[in-house]
């Protein structure tokens, strides 16, 4: 297939608003791909490269030869060229990579170049999310959509599923199954604004889990082989020896566990999330983030989008990326979740090797098993005989806090010492496979019973059953007081809906709000061109009478708000740059956010996480805005005065 035709499809999809029309465009392109082009071509339509790391970063894309007049590239040819780029190693590799990149872009027309730039940067915004691609695959292959979705969840990689569907139909898709050692997309939780809303969605009785502010981990064990994956299916086994040690001490021979790893202080309270993330993130990913932040222009909305993506990779998405990024943030871009929540195969530090429909990656360095404490023995499980739990009765909301320090096995501490970092304590809340038995389709209460029989109570996420809103509210308050993110309300009868954000799990987190002052605004780009969009937010400094910048946001703005603020901030302008309009610090805006994190980018040393606009506060003056002391109290886990 000609690459220009695929590029034309990408452009058409981006310009099309209707879901059905997008799906048909994608399906038509998939039908035209040759069998050997399906993996690469379906990836291009999804906005990703088959090669997870190419060594090509933003700096490499700044100086390119003129575009070709006539199209000559094919999908297979582009894939081969990018594979050669990714394989460049050793002395002279940077020069070789520049030559290969110049040859590829020199052969690309303007439209083809647009697609290539989007693929290399990880910023191809054409509206072809994984959900649409799944529908397009089903239509192109003439197979049932549920069959495609199920295969996608188990394979963890859209490209592999597309190739299987279009070459083997339904028969090939039914061959996908949970394979120990191959990560699958985790089940996700919806969000609710309140405990009452969550219970309305899930129903009563419900099970309430503490929501830890750690990194999501999926641990696979087969005998002595253990592999640890993140939410986005990147392998981090070598970075978390204490998780390996904890799982190695369990009596089961084959299992797949779902949980969180978190850094705790001596009293059992969570350490700042950045400490957890820095332990699990690979050094290459962190270095790429720092380099790109230093290089990126600070006064464009597009730069802020890129910065958010890079910071999300290491700090927010709980999914640290693979090491080895070369020349910028290509490794980081590869670690960011796809729109579906990260449905793709893993590669990473542990030496993963593609194995048919996914990844089998084992071989972590041995860690001495723990001899401390006791764990309940378990043999092969007949799930029909597992006792039911969690469907009746109540229990006190026991939440780890200062009065109830977390228990950490000595082997876990010893393993952590080999990393030279803070201890990451693993906690598990679900089990997907146990000694030859797949548990994905079993009700939650049966899976959790099997989990309790397999994992020491010290390694289980705190969980209670509630029959009333009052009980759930008490559990929520206790979790937040102990420094945790909140709770997850779960339906005890629900199966494990891998890769889906269904109604069976609903998370509730406290919503922080602050009244802040707008210090500057950036002109928008793309659809927001011509409007003042990205807000620079400041908290009041009671000592100096000035304002301390906490970050930027363009989220939560409707078209009506964009029009209003464009007029308003031009009235308040004191300095008009090409990109940034600095304004008198008078306008107060109410901002919602998920938390506060340390940040060397801003003078106060802190920044807001996931800040978004709720409303403008014309009833408040700047002198009534919240202070930097309030922000720091939230960062420290204290209740603001």
User: What is the rounded distance in angstroms from the CA atom of residue 519 to the CA atom of residue 569?
Assistant: 10
Q: What is the DSSP letter of 312?
A: I
Q: What is the DSSP letter of 356?
A: T
* Residues found in the chain: 641
Round to whole Å and give the CA distance between 591 and 614.
6
CA 386 to mean position of chain CA atoms: 33
Secondary element (H or E) of residue 608: strand 606-609
Structure tokens at 126: 């054409």
Contacts for 616 with CB less than 8 Å, ≥ 6 apart: 561, 564, 565, 587, 588, 589, 590
Rounded alpha-carbon distances, angstroms, from residue 375 to 75, 230, 387, 433, 462: 54, 25, 18, 18, 17
Residue with tokens 């598990």: 428
Q: Which of 22, 32, 159, 211 is catalytic?
A: 211
Measured CA to CA, the distance from residue 456 to residue 376 in angstroms comes to 7
Structure tokens, 534: 């990205």
Secondary-structure percent of the chain, ordered helix, strand, coil, rounded to 5: 40, 20, 40
- Which burial class, exposed, middle or buried, applies to 466 when counting CB atoms under 10 A from its CB (0-12, 13-18, 19+)? buried
Q: Decide if 66 contacts 109 (C-beta within 8 A).
A: no
Query: Alpha carbon of 153 to those of 131, 179, 311, 346: distances in Å?
Result: 12, 12, 26, 13
- Distance CA(572)–CA(248), nearest Å, equals 62
Angle at 155 between CA 310 and CA 506, to 5 degrees: 65
Q: Decide if 211 is catalytic.
A: yes
363-385 exposure pattern, b = at least 16 Cβ within 10 A, e = fewer: ebeebeebeeeebeebeebebee
Nearest-5° angle of CA 480, CA 481, CA 486? 10
Spatial contact of 318 and 334, defined as CB atoms under 8 Å apart: no
Cβ contacts of residue 18 below 8 Å, gap of 6+? none
Which candidate, 188, 130, 181, places its Cα nearest to that of 160? 130
From first CA to last CA, the distance across the chain in angstroms is: 64
Using the 8-state DSSP alphabet, how is residue 316 labeled?
I
CB 628 within 8 A of CB 641: no
* C-alpha distances out from residue 216 to 230, 262, 584, Å: 6, 9, 43
Report d(CA 360, CA 352) in Å as an integer. 6
What the block records as the tokens of 264 is 């705790």
SS (H, E, C) 566-609: HHHHHHCEEEECCCEEEECCCCEEEEEECEEEECCCCCCCEEEE
Return d(Cα 250, Cα 453) in angstroms, integer.
10
Give the tokens for residue 543. 């000592």
In the block, which residue shows the tokens 């850094």? 263
Q: What is the Cα–Cα distance from 499 to 340, expressed in whole angstroms?
A: 8
Task: Give the residue numbers marked as catalytic.
Answer: 211
């Amino acid at each position: 297939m000609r690459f220009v035709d695929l590029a034309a499809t990408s452009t058409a999809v981006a310009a099309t608003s209707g879901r059905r029309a997008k799906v048909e465009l994608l399906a038509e392109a998939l039908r035209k791909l040759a069998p050997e082009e399906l993996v690469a071509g379906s990836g291009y339509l999804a906005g990703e490269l088959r090669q997870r790391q190419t060594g090509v970063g933003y700096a490499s894309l700044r100086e390119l030869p003129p575009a070709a007049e006539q199209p000559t590239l094919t999908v297979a040819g582009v894939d081969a060229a990018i594979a050669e780029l990714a394989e460049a190693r050793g002395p002279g590799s940077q020069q070789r990579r520049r030559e290969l990149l110049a040859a590829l872009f020199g052969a690309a027309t303007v439209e083809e170049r647009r697609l290539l730039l989007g693929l290399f940067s990880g910023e191809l915004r054409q509206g072809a999310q994984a959900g649409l691609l799944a529908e397009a695959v089903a239509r192109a292959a003439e197979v049932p959509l549920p069959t495609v979705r199920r295969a996608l969840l188990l394979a963890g990689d859209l490209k592999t599923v597309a190739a299987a569907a279009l070459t083997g139909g339904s028969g090939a898709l039914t061959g996908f199954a949970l394979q120990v050692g191959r990560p699958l997309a985790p089940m996700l939780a919806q969000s609710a604004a309140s405990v009452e809303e969550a219970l309305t969605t899930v129903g009563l009785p419900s099970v309430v889990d503490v929501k830890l502010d750690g990194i999501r981990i999926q641990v696979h064990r087969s005998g002595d082989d253990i592999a640890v994956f993140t939410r986005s299916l990147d392998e981090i086994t070598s970075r978390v020896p204490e998780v390996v040690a904890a799982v190695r001490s369990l009596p089961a021979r084959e299992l797949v566990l779902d949980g969180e790893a978190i850094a705790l202080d001596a009293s059992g309270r969570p350490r700042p999330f950045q400490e957890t993330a820095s332990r699990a993130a690979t050094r290459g990913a962190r270095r790429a983030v720092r380099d790109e932040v230093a290089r990126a222009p600070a006064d464009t909305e597009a730069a802020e989008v890129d910065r958010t993506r890079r910071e999300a990779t290491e700090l927010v998405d709980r999914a640290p990326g693979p090491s080895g990024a070369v020349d910028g943030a290509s490794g980081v871009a590869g670690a960011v979740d796809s729109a579906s929540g990260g449905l793709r195969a893993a590669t990473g530090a542990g030496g993963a090797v593609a194995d048919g429909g996914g990844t089998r990656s084992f071989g972590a360095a041995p860690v001495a098993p723990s001899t401390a404490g006791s764990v309940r023995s378990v043999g092969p499980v007949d799930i029909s005989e597992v006792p039911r739990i969690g469907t009746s009765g109540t229990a006190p909301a026991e939440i780890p806090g200062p009065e109830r320090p977390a228990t950490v096995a000595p082997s876990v501490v010893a393993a952590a010492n080999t990393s030279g970092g803070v201890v990451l304590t693993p906690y598990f809340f679900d089990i997907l496979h146990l000694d030859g038995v797949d548990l994905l389709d079993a009700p939650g209460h049966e899976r959790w019973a099997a989990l309790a029989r397999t994992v020491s109570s010290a390694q289980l996420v705190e969980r209670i059953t509630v029959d009333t809103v009052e009980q759930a509210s008490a559990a929520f308050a206790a979790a937040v007081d102990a420094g945790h993110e909140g709770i997850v309300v779960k339906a005890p009868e629900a199966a494990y809906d891998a890769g889906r954000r269904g109604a069976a799990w609903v998370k509730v987190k406290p919503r922080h709000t602050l009244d802040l002052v707008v210090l500057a605004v950036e002109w928008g780009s793309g659809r927001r061109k011509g409007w003042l969009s990205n807000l620079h937010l400041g908290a009041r400094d009671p000592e100096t009478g000035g304002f301390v910048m906490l970050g930027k946001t363009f989220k939560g703005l409707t078209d009506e708000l964009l029009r209003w603020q464009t007029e308003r901030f031009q009235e308040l302008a004191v300095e008009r740059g090409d990109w940034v309009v600095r304004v008198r610090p008078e306008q107060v805006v109410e901002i919602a956010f998920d938390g506060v994190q340390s940040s060397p980018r801003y003078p106060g040393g802190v920044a807001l996480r996931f800040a978004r606009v709720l409303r403008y506060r014309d009833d408040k003056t700047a002198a009534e805005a919240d202070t930097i002391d309030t922000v720091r109290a939230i960062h420290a886990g204290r209740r603001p005065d």
